Structure 1
Amino acid sequence: MSYLKTTHELYKEAALTPQLSLCCVTSQARFLPDLVTPGVMKEMNYGCGTTVHFGDLNAGETVLYVGVGGGLEALQFAYFTRRPQSVIAVDSVPEMLARAEENFKLAAQVNKWFQPDFVKLVQGNALSLPLADGSVDVAAQNCLFNIFKEAELKQAISEMYRVLKPGGRLYISDPITTQPIPEHLREDERLRAMCLSGALAYQDYLDKFVDAGFGTIEVRARRPYRILDKGRYGTGEDILLESLELVVYKNPVPEDGACVFAGETVIYFGSEEAYDDGKGHIIQRDVPLPVCQKTAGNLRALNRPDLFITKATYHYGGGGCC
């Protein structure tokens, strides 16, 4: 697994000297009242999206963040938890942990509500997390899983599943690819470490979490991320990478498959006040109802003229049924 050593060295460099071209460091942290983010945290925002979804977070929860980087998202999680060791930040690179510790001290100087001990920094590996089974409510990783090859990815997801409490949720932001990535790029260890060549296709990526036992998946966002252009990367054609934001839940996988919410919506406009499909879904007339992919498919198969089912938008806003 020499590629993991390459990754370690790259992020050691990024800890000692912020890498402005690494991942999406140009993306701006979102505004929260009374939250001031030190500039160095913004420079070290080595992610491809966000894992901090404000409407979901509860003060009493314990959060695991794997791959702390400069600490920006761990600070945002701590904004909601606000108690000692309520955010556990695990990283395998000692230099990154040291830089994050410095950054949290800076954050405490400019945020009256924040104390550095709100975040517990722990040296550890995503493939063998130093936490007990079922010990956290929330886990998160940003632009980490795509670095792993098949066996290590399976292990990393399994570890997240293990440490989550039943009903707990995993927040993810990772690149995916819209076209096959040539093998010579997949085997380039530095490009993989830079989150450019290890991405999976959308459905392949989702399947990894279902295979690990996660029963519900919510696609919160899917956006353009990077282009692997044929001129620089020696591909036959330009390859679009997208940034995918997911929330996956540690609940049982139903017999008919996982519930995947990807922005599909049904609208009933028939003669009755509501439509009952006989499978537990009651759809009020003229009221848009978000549905999972399974339900959307079943409703389409009915070919009813009074049911309108949208295509997936890959931006799910909550609610609905499976």
Structure 2
Amino acid sequence: MSSYLETTKNVYKKAAESPDVGLCCTTTPVWQLPGLSIPKVMLDMNYGCGSTVHPRDLVNDPTVLYVGVGGGMELLQFSYFSRKQGGVVGLDVVPEMLAASERNFKEAEQQNDWFSSDFIDLREGDALNLPVEDSSIDVAAQNCLFNIFTTEDLKIALAEMYRVLKPNGRLVLSDPICDQAMPEELKNDEELRALCLSGALPLSEYIKLITDAGFGTVEIRAKRPYRILDPKHYNTSQRIFIESVEVCAIKDPMPSDGPCVFTGKAAIYFGDEEYFDDKKGHVLMPNQPLAVCDKTAKALADLKREDIYISESTYFYDGGGCC
């Protein structure tokens, strides 16, 4: 095992044995769902920077894989939508974290009459070599884990997620990102990498790694302020701004002209005709915004029409798009 991965394992071994409320700072409100009660210990062990639980991904009784179980909160949330034996597979490389989750699920059973611990299949395993069959998972997820990896390991982890997903399956990710240059001293600080800080990549690089793994559609669902690394407290000469991002990558066939990446852009037609049809599958009705991927936004902008407006990226996309 690489030394940085060993450091990471030790950090989360301690966090499993003694919940560390300040270890991460989740930027997404915890889902409040009818009949769902989350034990306080799970909230205290919510070691993520966002959320990977999106109800619209979780229809039709999906089989879910969650890598890096933490205290089990997102596993419990996923099982709310997949109430079947082994419907949610929870994977972690830290045995102590798996044991803590198992204890927490017993408490969750006491608070939720619909929940059974056998809904969740806990497995010890590595994100770089998933103990999961090919094309067996509907929704795979990870929260604040992949930014810990070096670029070469991240490529392997993404390829593994792609392997286990069914066709049209979804990979939901939440990670810190940073569009500033991260100093090498911080990049190589194993403790900071384990704490989900100095491994943060620029968003464009993060998305390219995902699409290079074969995912034909990528949705940016949220981008929020996360942390500051400042010269007073960290080995950096400038203040570094880190954001958290929530992304869904879909195992769609790769389009011949490249992936569809939705960053929250919209096109609005305000001309005099009944509608505008670009003859490529995109029909714009008058003054009705249509969410468009960045590729389509550029193609429409290149037409240089005065009656089509293309918005800037909002980095929030919630379906209803062009492709």
TM-score between the two structures when normalised by the length of structure 2 = 0.98
> Within 5 Å, which residues of 2 pair with 1:1-322?
1-24=2-25, 28-322=29-323
What amino acid is aligned across from residue 179 of structure 2 in structure 1? T
Checking the alignment, whether the CA contact within 8 Å between 1:59 and 1:82 is kept in structure 2 is: no
Q: Which amino acid aligns with 1:95?
A: E
Seen in structure 2, the aligned counterparts of structure 1 residues 308 and 246 have a Cα distance that, compared at 3 Å, is same
SS at match of 2:232: helix
- Tell me, yes or no, if the aligned pair for 1:217 and 1:246 is still in contact at 8 Å: yes
- Contact 1:215–1:250 under 8 Å retained in 2: yes
The one-letter code of the counterpart of 2:170 is R
Q: Which amino acid letter does the alignment assign opposite residue 287 of structure 1?
A: Q
Q: 1:117 to 1:193 in 2, by over 3 A?
A: same
Q: Write out per-residue CA displacement over residues 14-62 of structure 1, whole angstroms, 9 at most, x where no aligned residue.
A: 0000112211158652211110000000000000000001232114210
Residue 233 of structure 2: SS of its match in structure 1? Answer: helix
Distance across 2 between alignment mates of 1:263 and 1:167: 21
Do the aligned residues in 2 keep the contact of 1:25 with 1:44 (CA within 8 Å)? no
Asked whether the equivalents of residues 48 and 243 of structure 1 are also in contact (C-alpha less than 8 Å), the reply is yes
Give the secondary structure class of the aligned counterpart of 2:122.
strand
1:177-199 deviation digits (Å, cap 9, x = unpaired):
02011000111101100001001
Which deviations, in whole Å up to 9, do the C-alpha atoms of 1:93-131 show, x marking residues without a partner? Answer: 000000000000100000011000001100000000001
C-alpha distance after superposition, 1:285-306 (max 9, x if no partner):
1211000000001111111111
- Structure 1: stretches of 5+ with no match in the other structure: none
Distance (Å, rounded) in 2 between the aligned partners of 1:133 and 1:27: 31
1:140 is displaced (CA, Å) by 0.1
Deviations 1:150-180 (A, max 9, x none): 1111110000000000110100000000201
Structure 2 residue ranges without an equivalent (≥5): none
Q: Secondary structure at the match of 1:120?
A: strand
When residues 94 and 222 of structure 1 are mapped into structure 2, their CA distance, relative to the original with a 3 A threshold, is: same
For the residues of structure 2 that align with 1:294 and 1:25, how far apart are their CA atoms? 31
Seen in structure 2, the aligned counterparts of structure 1 residues 62 and 225 have a Cα distance that, compared at 3 Å, is same
Cα shift readout 1:72-112 (whole Å, capped 9, x = no counterpart): 00100000111110000000100000000000010000001
CA distance in 2 between partners of 1:117 and 1:189 (Å): 36
1:231, CA displacement in angstroms? 1.1
SS of alignment partner, residue 265 of structure 1: strand
SS at match of 2:181: coil
Amino acid aligned to 1:37: I
- Partner of 1:158, secondary structure, is helix
Aligned residues: 322
State the one-letter code of the partner of 1:318.
Answer: G
SS of structure 2 residue aligned to 1:172: strand
- Structure-1 separation of matches of 2:246 and 2:161: 16
Equivalent-residue separation in structure 2 for 1:91 and 1:317 (angstroms):
29
Moved over 2 A (4+): 25-28
Shift in Å, 1:207: 0.3
Which whole-Å CA distance do the structure 2 matches of 1:180 and 1:70 have between them?
32
Distance in 2 of aligned mates of 1:42 and 1:77: 15
8 Å CA contact retained: 2:23, 2:195: yes
Q: Percent sequence identity over matched residues?
A: 57
Q: 1:7 to 1:91 in 2, by over 3 A?
A: same
Question: Aligned-residue CA RMSD in angstroms?
Answer: 1.0
Return the TM-score normalized by structure 1. Answer: 0.98
Counterparts of 2:179 and 2:22 in 1: how far apart (Å)? 22
CA contact (8 A) 1:275 1:284 kept: yes
Q: Distance in 1 between matches of 2:211 and 2:182?
A: 23
Instruction: Specify the SS of the correspondent of 1:244.
Output: strand
**C-alpha contact (below 8 Å) 1:216/1:250 kept by paired residues:** yes
Partner amino acid, structure 2, of 1:90: L
